[in-house]
Amino acid sequence: MDKKTIGILGGGQLGRMVVEAASRLNINTVILDAPNAPAKQINAVSEHIDGSFTHYESIVKLAEKSDVLTVEIEHVDADALKRVKQKFPHIEIYPLPETIKLIQDKYLQKEHLIQHDIEVAESIPVLDNTEQALLEVGEKFGYPFMLKSRTLAYDGRGNFVVKSSDKVGEALEFLKDRPLYAEKWCPFVKELAVMVVRSLEGEVFAYPTVETIQQDNICHLVIAPARIPDTLAKKASILANNAVKSFPGCGIFGVEMFLLPNNELLVNEIAPRPHNSGHYTIDACVTSQFEAHVRAVAGLPMPKGFTEFSTTSTNAIMLNVLGDKDTADKELEICRRALETPHATVYLYGKTTRPGRKMGHINIVSSSMEDCENRLEYISGSTASLPASLTPKEQPLVSIIMGSDSDLPVMSVGANILKTFGVPFELTIVSAHRTPHRMAQYAIEAPKRGLKVIIAGAGGAAHLPGMVAAMTPLPVIGVPVKGSVLDGVDSLHSIVQMPRGIPVATVAINNSTNAALLAIRILGVFQPKWLNEMNQYMVNMEHEVLGKAEVLEDIGYEKYLTDKLKK
Amino acid sequence: MDKKTIGILGGGQLGRMVVEAASRLNINTVILDAPNAPAKQINAVSEHIDGSFTHYESIVKLAEKSDVLTVEIEHVDADALKRVKQKFPHIEIYPLPETIKLIQDKYLQKEHLIQHDIEVAESIPVLDNTEQALLEVGEKFGYPFMLKSRTLAYDGRGNFVVKSSDKVGEALEFLKDRPLYAEKWCPFVKELAVMVVRSLEGEVFAYPTVETIQQDNICHLVIAPARIPDTLAKKASILANNAVKSFPGCGIFGVEMFLLPNNELLVNEIAPRPHNSGHYTIDACVTSQFEAHVRAVAGLPMPKGFTEFSTTSTNAIMLNVLGDKDTADKELEICRRALETPHATVYLYGKTTRPGRKMGHINIVSSSMEDCENRLEYISGSTASLPASLTPKEQPLVSIIMGSDSDLPVMSVGANILKTFGVPFELTIVSAHRTPHRMAQYAIEAPKRGLKVIIAGAGGAAHLPGMVAAMTPLPVIGVPVKGSVLDGVDSLHSIVQMPRGIPVATVAINNSTNAALLAIRILGVFQPKWLNEMNQYMVNMEHEVLGKAEVLEDIGYEKYLTDKLKK
């Protein structure tokens, strides 16, 4: 796709996944890292450089074979990169060495963000590493506060929570000799993250806003999309875009954020490279974060929408696979359970196992988050056997309920329609007046059980459809059942005349056929299969009536009537 | 994931994509093919064998480094594989050499399928390659008939359409010296294909049934799912499963089928390996055909459902990228347009360009097939610029129509609800009685325009909702608008009392609020976002009423009433 060769500083899993994306586009890559590093394993060129990405001479060797340089880790020698740029002016380096240098020092990064009006947690530099200096911080920020290393910190290494004034000694001991800054305690309710890819022209494209869940300071889970209101997710996305706009150059950036109890968002930190919180994009999004990065640094097209979820109904969970603490390769058990789980994909990085090391990750994708969660439960070993709900089966999509078995003759006609169409459904008795608690439970649990539409039939003072609609956000279709008096108008008005706020989709008296057909039309809104079948049904119906018309015209109305009477 | 090394005979694009899938699982692979073959490029081990997959000694060298042997092409030396199995009894070979041998000879393949009650096109062997023999075929089958090479045929090479008796000479000239058979002309309406993966225990898992479109005898497009009725797709899937069950051993198989005008299905041919018609699975399915093959031959788990579409609303089109006939690398223009198109992914195979050569493929995935088609149009160059419809925008999901502008005061209340929820909608006048043709067009075009739900308001002899419902498969919500007489009961009954077959979801008189809320509930059936917002709305409503109750209890009903009157 492009004749440029991309040189990558660092050949860990991030580099490996960049190489995979580049290979799919016939774009050459060369890696600088230790021999047989994960990224080198999947690229059979002989040009790779064995060496360290913090070593100037090695970077020069890489540059000699590259048209573009990029990084999979920000802890490279940024000054060396600047010198390389001077030595090879024709080589492009993304992210810019200046950006890397700024981001490497987390305090400078914060100052930069503040200058660009990006909200961050309040911080102050610790100018000398003394107990006195920390006590002054404690006076200013109160306890607990965060003591953080300005450089070379990752996965929580380099952070210390100073819980009280008598812990400052311990904190200094833990982080001694490192350049430090202090951050006001941030009582966040969730950690969010947004991957953003920036083009050279400064256009930014945000991936969906996700939720990250840490365990022992290491990313454990990523939930996509974040389980927060839509407006908040959008706010996070804008904040991330603005943050990344502040860095010239191009490439992918990971923006980590805190969501505070008052719904405020603060940027925690930014990584100028592919990020663990973006691994879900491989399976859930149109373009993975790795390909997005390749496209950015190689100057390939980045159209609007290429960072979206693959389809509107995509939900995903990413689970990191860490080297087991006790038994080598025990983490493969998690992977095996993932392989046993539909809608889960395993990625292993070709690394030698070590306790706590990131060995791989697992992506779970489904049209429902609950489904993702159920699958995660099995994979992570919280449930011993694959729950029955996970083995694909015909789960009811539609439920038919009625106030009394006397409604069954009417309601069974609709059930037959669902059967003919092959719509999985359940049918039962739920009475508003005689089983009010069952009704409430049924209505509340319906969405969780995977039901999509409820058809409720009732007669007389017909409360069932409206009461169920009042306790579920699902669409409820009401069938007025005709009683012995009032011709069903009592039921009709009881069902259709709902107050503003709670709709019931009412069909004609006794017409459960139309209730079933309406349910199928509703399913068809997002499942084309049902839409097609409804189309076919309508065509057949038309043919049938046209056929009758033909016969009627053919044999005349008198014979037609006699024939019909005979039947 | 597995300590076994998989040796692959053939290192073209199919092998390459198998290697990619294996690497993701930390499974070792070794390739037998020419130096720098596509599959070798992405696997940096030194153990690859340079040589031919039809050469016994080379296969032995590969076997010496492998625990399992598999193929990416069926034109290997099957007898050599049998001898290798004798020499290295501990090595597993999948597909079985016997299966490869059977499938290599297309006539034997057909006989095998017939023995297993799999429907195939009627064929007879051509025992000697003479004009006389062919004329006899012509007498038996009529013209045209297909003359086919029993072996080494692919991408249409090895097939000749004998159009009349005076073409038999030409046919013999074209296929001279090859072992031949003749096939009765098959007037198919579509070509279908199903990828099926078989476990060693004989369990089979079918991928979705797809449609393949050939151009110059080479696969041009794959449409997933096939645009055929569901029952037919299921039938194709069962046929494919049964065909693959008939071959012992394990691995992935591509089953090509003809769909005849009478809806009959015939198996055309079977490939015992990953297949061009399954490339869409990389982006559209839970597990790609390549990973499925790796799992099968490595004995890894293959759970039910792992071959499904990623989400229920997945649609995909695969476009092959062929080397341009005139200008080298011109095919990259198609790839570039694909990169400019959201929801499209480019795969290039690392091959030197040659006219007509399969250089790569493009997968387009979306929740709507129409969207895939629009994107394909741009990518393939039929439209010069990316259609505006492809740049993501707020497409109306809901339409509000009314018979007259006098209904607007009632209907606008519902429009405001949609606005508050942020549901994109359109609003216009469509009168059943005064603009019947416009109504028909509106109803018919609604699904194509991406509308999901129609809200129709009308008064008096209110025909609009029912008539629209009669001409669209979408759910239609009817709002009875109260006129100057009869209190709206006329409208209510006109709307709700639809005949069996055509449902209208009727809400209370003048209650367009509930129509809008019902539309949102319907969208929420498959888009959790709306379901969540509906939940929130219901919670807010509850709080609001509880708040009023508190005030009422607090200040007493008399003051409450006075206060309310003041407002």
Tens digit of each residue's pLDDT (9 = 90 or more) over B89-128: 999 999 999 999 999 999 999 999 999 999 999 999 998 8
Which tokens sit at B108? 């034997």
In angstroms, the separation between the Cα of residue B9 and the nearest Cα of chain A is 18
Residue of chain B whose alpha carbon sits nearest to that of A368: B528
Answer for the pair A481, A462: CB distance below 8 angstroms, yes or no: yes
Q: What is the DSSP letter of B309?
A: B
Q: How far apart (Å, rounded) are the C-alpha atoms in residues A376 and A373?
A: 5
List for chain B the helix, strand, coil content (%; round to 5): 40, 25, 35
Instruction: Please write down the HEC assignment for all residues of B429-471.
Output: ECCCCCCHHHHHHHHHHCCCCCCCEEEEEEECCCCHHHHHHHC
Taking CA atoms, A434 is separated from A56, A430, A439, in Å, by 81, 8, 9
Answer for the pair A123, A114: CB distance below 8 angstroms, yes or no: no
Q: What is the pLDDT of residue B113?
A: 95
Residue of chain A whose alpha carbon sits nearest to that of B329: A1
Residue of chain A whose alpha carbon sits nearest to that of B225: A529
Burial class (CB in 10 A: 0-12, 13-18, 19+), A382: exposed
Closest among A273, A262, A275, A284 to A212, alpha carbons compared: A275
Q: How far apart (Å, rounded) are the C-alpha atoms in residues B489 and B461?
A: 10
Taking CA atoms, B274 is separated from B55, B70, B347, in Å, by 22, 11, 16
Q: What is the pLDDT of residue B88?
A: 95
Using one digit for the tens of pLDDT, what is the confidence trace for B166-204? 988 888 888 888 899 999 999 999 999 999 999 999 999
pLDDT band, very low/low/confident/very high, at B393 (cuts 50, 70, 90)? low
Facing B303 at nearest CB: one of A26, A340, A509: A340
Q: What is the DSSP letter of B140?
A: H
Give the CA diameter of chain A: 109
Whether B391 and A305 lie within 8 Å, measured CB to CB: yes
Across chain A, which has 567 residues, the per-10-residue mean pLDDT values are 90 98 96 96 95 94 97 94 95 96 93 95 90 91 92 76 90 86 92 96 96 89 92 93 95 97 94 97 95 96 90 89 88 92 92 92 90 90 62 77 92 95 93 88 89 94 93 96 89 93 95 97 88 90 90 89 82
Residue of chain B whose alpha carbon sits nearest to that of A388: B304
Whether B348 and A304 lie within 8 Å, measured CB to CB: no
Mean predicted confidence (pLDDT) in B25-49:
96
Answer for the pair B267, B230: CB distance below 8 angstroms, yes or no: no
Q: What is the pLDDT of residue B209?
A: 97
Q: What is the pLDDT of residue B390?
A: 53
Whether B498 and A504 lie within 8 Å, measured CB to CB: no
Q: How far apart (Å, rounded) are the C-alpha atoms in residues B293 and B269?
A: 19
Q: How far apart (Å, rounded) are the C-alpha atoms in residues A111 and A146?
A: 17
Whether B229 and A532 lie within 8 Å, measured CB to CB: yes
Q: How far apart (Å, rounded) are the C-alpha atoms in residues A173 and A180?
A: 12
Count of CB atoms situated within 10 Å of the CB of A216: 9
Look at residue B395 and tell me whether its pLDDT is greater than 70.
Answer: yes
Chain centroid to Cα A524, Å, comes to 24
Beta-strand relationship, A315-322 and A218-224: antiparallel
Answer for the pair A69, A7: CB distance below 8 angstroms, yes or no: yes
pLDDT band, very low/low/confident/very high, at B325 (cuts 50, 70, 90)? confident
Q: What is the pLDDT of residue A388?
A: 56
Specify the pTM.
0.76
Q: What is the pLDDT of residue A537?
A: 93
Look at residue B212 and tell me whether its pLDDT is greater than 80.
Answer: yes
Four-residue CA torsion sign, B94, B97, B102, B103? positive
* Coil, helix or strand at residue A155: coil
Answer for the pair B365, A286: CB distance below 8 angstroms, yes or no: yes
Q: How far apart (Å, rounded) are the C-alpha atoms in residues A155 and A75?
A: 13
Whether B526 and A527 lie within 8 Å, measured CB to CB: yes
Q: What is the pLDDT of residue A385?
A: 62
Answer for the pair B11, B37: CB distance below 8 angstroms, yes or no: yes
User: b/e for A225-242, b at 16 or more Cβ within 10 A?
Assistant: bbebeeebbebbbebbbb
ipTM of the complex: 0.74
Facing B301 at nearest CB: one of A314, A340, A503: A340
Which tokens sit at B311? 């989400």
Which tokens sit at B182? 């003749």
Closest among B427, B374, B445, B226 to A305, alpha carbons compared: B374
Beta bridge partners of A366: A315
Q: What is the pLDDT of residue A151?
A: 86
Q: How far apart (Å, rounded) are the C-alpha atoms in residues A452 and A385?
A: 27
Using one digit for the tens of pLDDT, what is the confidence trace for B332-360? 999 999 999 888 999 999 999 999 999 99
Whether A518 and B475 lie within 8 Å, measured CB to CB: yes
Whether A311 and B366 lie within 8 Å, measured CB to CB: yes
- The residues, any chain, with a CB within 8 Å of residue A20's CB and separated by 6 or more, are A42, A290, B20, B23, B42
Q: How far apart (Å, rounded) are the C-alpha atoms in residues B118 and B293?
A: 23
In angstroms, the separation between the Cα of residue A177 and the nearest Cα of chain B is 40
Residue of chain A whose alpha carbon sits nearest to that of B25: A348
In angstroms, the separation between the Cα of residue A395 and the nearest Cα of chain B is 13
In angstroms, the separation between the Cα of residue B61 and the nearest Cα of chain A is 20
Whether B24 and A348 lie within 8 Å, measured CB to CB: yes
Beta bridge partners of A401: A428, A456
Cα–Cα–Cα angle for B360, B365, B367, nearest 5°? 170
User: b/e for B191-205, b at 16 or more Cβ within 10 A?
Assistant: bbbbbbbbbeeeebb
Whether A505 and B477 lie within 8 Å, measured CB to CB: yes
- Output the DSSP codes for A363-422: EEEES-HHHHHHHHHHHTTSSSS--GGGS------EEEEESSGGGHHHHHHHHHHHHHHT
Which tokens sit at B370? 């129409």
